[in-house]
Structure formats: structure tokens, C-alpha cells
Amino acid sequence: MENETLRFIKYILKYAQGFLKPLFLGLIFSVLSSFVTGLGTWSIKPIFNFVFLEKHYEYFKYVPLYLVLIFTLNGLFSLFQAYFMKSLSTGIINSIRLDLFKKCLTLPYAKLQRERSGQTVSKVINDTSQIEPILGESSQTLIKETLTVLVLLGVAFYQRWDLTLLALITLPAIVLGTKYLGTKTRRARRLTQASTGELTHRMSEILQGIKEIKLASSKEILIKFFAKELEKFYKLSLKVTKYRESSKSLVDLMTGIGGAILIGYGGVLIIRGDLSPGAFLSLLTAILLIFNPIRKIARAYTGLKEAQGAWIRIEEVFNLEEEKGGYIKATSPQEGFFLKGVSFCYDDSLPKVLDNINLKIPARKMTALVGPSGAGKSTLISLLPRFYDPTEGEIYLDNKPLKELDLESLRGLFGMVWQEPFLFNLSIWDNLILVKPTASAEEVREACRFSQALDFIEALPKGFGTILGEEGLTLSGGQKQRLALARVFLRRPPVIILDEATSQIDSLTERAIESALDTLRKDHTLIVIAHRLSTIIKADKIIVLDKGKIVSEGTHTELLGLCPLYRELYHTFVR
Ligand SMILES: Nc1ncnc2c1ncn2[C@@H]1O[C@H](COP(=O)(O)OP(=O)(O)OP(=O)(O)O)[C@@H](O)[C@H]1O
């Protein structure tokens, strides 16, 4: 268990190395501030003796000035100390946040999908905040007060070691009790943080589905769900407070007992004449003074444990396995993609979504995937850029297994457009050049012309500078799809995958886009999923999928004669 604490401290120290300047300055100003406070207190006596007792009244005018100077210096040093310490703690927290964010981007897509998004957000934002107090106040307390305790202990032992030991008889109870309560606090803090994550998740989920909620009569059920989660959070927060405060009360109780034992026994010794009242008083003062820093240390320890509770959740993310690629740089397909005996299921507990698929997707040709809803079309294409890996079998690009290819270069080969494309809360321009930061204005306009997006963009008052999602601007589904297509046209990656990419675009515009796509067919590998079969009849190869298996493949004319399912799909959708 203590290893965990050490590991946590080691991690924090590692981050602190990036902030040596504020750490150093913070410590210097903290020493200066203590020094000035000490100097101020100490110097009053000699100054007053010098001015009043020794009657150097001509110096009297400097006394108020001296006091103002001391207070000003103290104020300034405290300000600088607080500023640099805060800069240290916030800097460390931000570095942890950035590392967590980077880590999230390297996690496998499947893992990110399974993780509740609110929990991930909460780990990056809330859990890191929980560590902040330990970086400032608690660590300073632990260092400073431990020193104070040691000095006072020295004084007390020097006076009467036997009585000191007697007074400290309650110390083991304090140490053990604080440790026990610290562990409890850490556990409760961890659960409280998980509950905060759950609340974040629920809230964002509810806001995403707000239309359904407003229409449904189930509003009450959701309110109950949220209230239940809040109740859980409330109870856990109280638990943390209970343990934290219990640790304080324990120290107070033990101080009282220790003091009582000392007074009781010391009193007997005085009555017996074995101890002088002066020595007893000085010992009692030292012992009572020791308990104050001990109380502070106990509090700081509980703070450390709380921070550790939050850290455990952060560490869970850092410990997650990153997605791994191979070392061979992927290049444009020459032959195509080959799926050999590929099966896939999203989870061991779920049935297979793809079952023993053997397939060639030829390079620089148009391949279409058709099949009823849930047949596995989208799943199949998401295996190509390795969003998921097959559960069985292997996929090759030309003659190389995908797993041996460097991930970034492999993914760089693809441009994908989905039915519900994702656009960032940025300007239209920034959304487009995200895929090609070096693109010229003319290239961007040309890509938009290709995807039939230029007219509607230019009709907006701020044109390409329009920020999406702001000033009430929400694009229609079709407009989003056209922007997503423009992104693909802008970059022109060797492999273009369109998954119901034109489903929300009217037939006339869709036809214009299709003719733009036709110009890419010669030197790009096109993979298209569409329900409207009119869009895919020109494909060089059509693959019919049903319940995760390939039912048939061929050209449109071949399949019309060969495949009853294709015929059925064609007649349902084309007319
Ligand atoms: N992330 C996921 N986790 C678990 N199951 C999933 C996931 N995504 C899809 N599925 C399941 O996999 C099966 C195939 O889904 P997929 O989206 O590949 O089909 P599709 O042919 O593209 O369907 P559609 O035409 O409706 O888009 C479905 O039964 C679906 O419920």
C-alpha cells in the first residue's frame, strides 16, 4: 500500500522537474517570508530596549517605518511565495492533463468507445484538480511541520526523556489511526471521483438526447436516475468528510489524553519533590506544542491520501495499453486489400458480426458493399484503417499484413465520410484545412466546388469564416456531408471510403457529386456503402453481405441474375 504512495510521490516529483524555477523561487520566498516574520518578532525587544530603556529617542521616528517595512516585506514575500507555488502546482496539473489528453488520443478506438466519455473527461479535468492541494499546502505542511516536531521533540527529550515518552504514549494510536483513516479516505475519494465522472457522463448524455427527452413522457425516469446518482455522490462526499474529520478528532483526543497523563504524573512528581514546577511547565509547553504540528501533519496526510484516491483513477488511464502498429511504412495500394478468413465480434460475449470473410478489394477500382441493415458493412470497412482488428483471420494491404504497417502511414491512406460526419466547433475553413494545413485558398474552393458545398458556404454572411455551432448556426445533415466530402476531395487520399456519405443529400446534388467522384475512380481506391443502389450500380465490384457473411459478389448485371437478395434490395431501393 505504501508503495502506491511512494509511486504517487515519485510521479509528482517527475512532473515537478519541469517547473524547477517556480519551485526554487517558491521555496526561497517561503524561507524569506518566515525569516522576516521571525526577524520582526525577535527584533521588537532589542529595538524597544534601545529606544526606550536606553533612551535613544532620536531613533523613535524609525520604529514605525521599520514596522511598515517588515510588514511590507512579509506581505510581498508571501505574495511571491503563493504565486510561485500556485504556478508550480497549476503547471504540474496542466502537464498531467496534457499527458492524459495525449494518452487518450493513442488509445485504441475500441477502448475509447467502451469507456464512458464522461468518465474520461472527468479523469482529465476533475481528478487532476483533486491533486492540486497536495502539491501546495499539504507538501509544505508535511516538510515544515515534521521539522518543527523534530525540534520540539529534541527540546522535550533534553528536559525529561522519561516524561516525554510517557506523554507520547498516545502517538502510536495517532499514527495507526491516521493511517487507517487515510486508507478509508483514499477509497472514499476514489469512489467520489468515479461518481463525479458518472454525473458528468449522465449530464452530457441527457443533453445529447434532449429532443427525445422533451418528447417522451420518460422525463421523470431520467430525473430520478440523475437524482439517484447525485444522492450517491452526496453520500460519498460525506464519507470523505467523515474520515477526514475523524482523523482530526482522533489527534485532538489523543493530545488530550497525552496531556492528561503528563499533567497527572508530572503533578505527582512535583508533589513528591522529584520535579521542579519550572521544568514541568517548560516540558508541558513543548509537549503541547508538538501536538499542533502533529495535527497539521495528520491533516496533510489525509490530504495526500485523498489526492492518491484521485491519482489511482488517473494512473488507470496512463496504464492502458496504447494501440500498436508495425514498422513498415504503408504506401498506396497497388493490388488492393485482401481479407483472409476474417471474423469479428465487438465483444467476447457478443455474437460474430463478421464471419469468415474472404475478399479482395481491388486497388484503383470502385467497390460497393450492400446488404440489409446490420449486415456488418460499416464494421467491415472500419477494419481497414484498423479502428478494430479482426478477432480471427488477417487483412493484407497488397502482400503485407495490416498489423505490420506503421499505423499513422496506414491511416494516412484513408479519407472517410460517414452518414453523420463530425465537424469541430471551428470555422468552416479550419474544419476543412484540418486535413491539409498547407492547402491554398484555391484548393479549398475547388474541393468545395467538387462536393457541391461552395454555393452554400459563400451564401453565409461570413463565408468560410463562419464558426460552426456558434451564433445559432447549425448545418443541415446534407451540408455537413458535403463539407466532409470536401475534406476528402481536398486531401485526395489514395483510399476513399464513403459510408452512406450522401444519404442526406438530394438526388440532383448527389448526381453532381457522383460525377466528381467518377474523375477520381481511375487513380483512387473507392469503397462505397449506400442504401440507394442507384449510386452504386456503376461499381466495378459489388459485394453483398448478409448477417456477417458474403452472400455474393460481382457487377450489377451479374448480381441481378445471380443473387436473389441483391435483386430484392435493388427493387426495394432503386424505385
Ligand atoms: N460498437 C459496437 N458495439 C457492439 N456492437 C456493434 C457496434 N457497432 C455495430 N454493432 C453491431 O454489429 C452489427 C453490424 O453493424 P454494422 O453497423 O456493421 O452494420 P451495417 O451493415 O453497416 O448496418 P447499417 O446499414 O444499418 O449501417 C449490428 O448487429 C450492430 O448492432
Identify the band that residue 333 occupies on the pLDDT scale cut at 50, 70 and 90.
very high
Residue 280 counted as domain residue = yes
Q: Which of 300, 322, 344 corresponds to the end of one domain?
A: 322
Are residue 49 and residue 150 in the same domain, yes or no?
no
Residue 369 has pLDDT above 90, yes or no: yes
Per-chain mean pLDDT for the chain: 85
How is residue 103 written as a grid cell?
494518452
Identify the band that residue 342 occupies on the pLDDT scale cut at 50, 70 and 90.
very high
Are residue 16 and residue 138 in the same domain, yes or no?
no
Are residue 253 and residue 185 in the same domain, yes or no?
yes
Are residue 439 and residue 499 in the same domain, yes or no?
yes
Identify the band that residue 2 occupies on the pLDDT scale cut at 50, 70 and 90.
low
Say how many Å lie between the CA of residue 346 and the centre of ligand 1: 9
Tens-digit pLDDT profile for residues 183-196:
898 889 889 888 88
Identify the band that residue 208 occupies on the pLDDT scale cut at 50, 70 and 90.
confident
Are residue 296 and residue 399 in the same domain, yes or no?
no
Which atom of ligand 1 lies at the shortest distance from residue 545's CA? 21
Are residue 354 and residue 385 in the same domain, yes or no?
yes
Count CB neighbours of 257 within 10 A: 14
> Which range among 55-64, 224-233, 376-385 has the greatest average pLDDT?
376-385
The pLDDT, as a whole number, for residue 390 is 94
Residue 109 has pLDDT above 90, yes or no: no
106-125 mean pLDDT: 79
The pLDDT, as a whole number, for residue 217 is 65
| CA nearest ligand 1 atom 18, residue | 376
Range of the domain at 375: 336-574
Q: Which of 261, 292, 322 corresponds to the end of one domain?
A: 322
Residue 541 counted as domain residue = yes
How is residue 63 written as a grid cell?
520604529
548-558 mean pLDDT: 91
Which atom of ligand 1 lies at the shortest distance from residue 382's CA? 18
> Which range among 27-31, 57-61, 327-331, 436-440 has the greatest average pLDDT?
327-331
Tens-digit pLDDT profile for residues 236-288:
999 989 998 898 888 889 888 888 888 888 888 888 888 788 778 877 877 77
Count CB neighbours of 386 within 10 A: 20
Residue % of the chain over a pLDDT of 90: 23
Count CB neighbours of 549 within 10 A: 16
- Find residue 328's DSSP bridge partners: 405
Are residue 486 and residue 550 in the same domain, yes or no?
yes
- Taking the whole predicted model, whether its pTM rises above 0.80 is answered as no
Is the shortest distance between the CB of 490 and ligand 1 below 6 Å? no
Residue % of the chain over a pLDDT of 70: 97
Cα 131 from Cα 314, distance rounded (Å): 10
DSSP state of 91: H
Identify the band that residue 231 occupies on the pLDDT scale cut at 50, 70 and 90.
very high
| CA nearest ligand 1 atom 26, residue | 373
Are residue 254 and residue 159 in the same domain, yes or no?
yes
Are residue 539 and residue 462 in the same domain, yes or no?
yes
Cα 123 from Cα 232, distance rounded (Å): 18
Residue 88 counted as domain residue = yes
Say how many Å lie between the CA of residue 378 and the centre of ligand 1: 7
ipTM for this prediction: 0.96
432-442 mean pLDDT: 89
Is the shortest distance between the CB of 378 and ligand 1 below 6 Å? yes
Residue 331 counted as domain residue = no
Count CB neighbours of 212 within 10 A: 11
Are residue 269 and residue 314 in the same domain, yes or no?
yes
Are residue 301 and residue 409 in the same domain, yes or no?
no
Residue 105 has pLDDT above 70, yes or no: yes
Asked if residues 422 and 358 have their Cβ atoms less than 8 Å apart, the reply is: no
Residue 137 counted as domain residue = yes
Q: What is the CATH number of the domain that holds 371?
A: 3.40.50.300
Please state the domain count of the chain.
3
**By three-state DSSP, how is residue 418 classified?**
coil
Is the shortest distance between the CB of 573 and ligand 1 below 6 Å? no
Residue 220 has pLDDT above 60, yes or no: yes
Residue 575 has pLDDT above 60, yes or no: no
Residue 199 counted as domain residue = yes
Identify the band that residue 573 occupies on the pLDDT scale cut at 50, 70 and 90.
low
Say how many Å lie between the CA of residue 423 and the centre of ligand 1: 22
Tens-digit pLDDT profile for residues 395-418:
999 989 999 999 999 999 999 888
Tens-digit pLDDT profile for residues 480-536:
888 998 998 898 899 999 988 777 777 777 777 777 777 888 889 999 998 777 778
Say how many Å lie between the CA of residue 257 and the centre of ligand 1: 68
Adjacency order of strands within the sheet including 541-546: 414-417, 495-499, 525-529, 366-370, 541-546, 549-554
Residue 490 counted as domain residue = yes
Residue 133 has pLDDT above 80, yes or no: no
Residue 195 counted as domain residue = yes
Are residue 429 and residue 535 in the same domain, yes or no?
yes
Helices (H) and strands (E) in the chain, counts: 20, 10
Is the shortest distance between the CB of 217 and ligand 1 below 6 Å? no
Residue 211 has pLDDT above 90, yes or no: no
Q: Which of 293, 322, 351 corresponds to the end of one domain?
A: 322
The pLDDT, as a whole number, for residue 378 is 93
The pLDDT, as a whole number, for residue 1 is 52
Say how many Å lie between the CA of residue 548 and the centre of ligand 1: 10
453-477 mean pLDDT: 81
Cα 457 from Cα 430, distance rounded (Å): 13
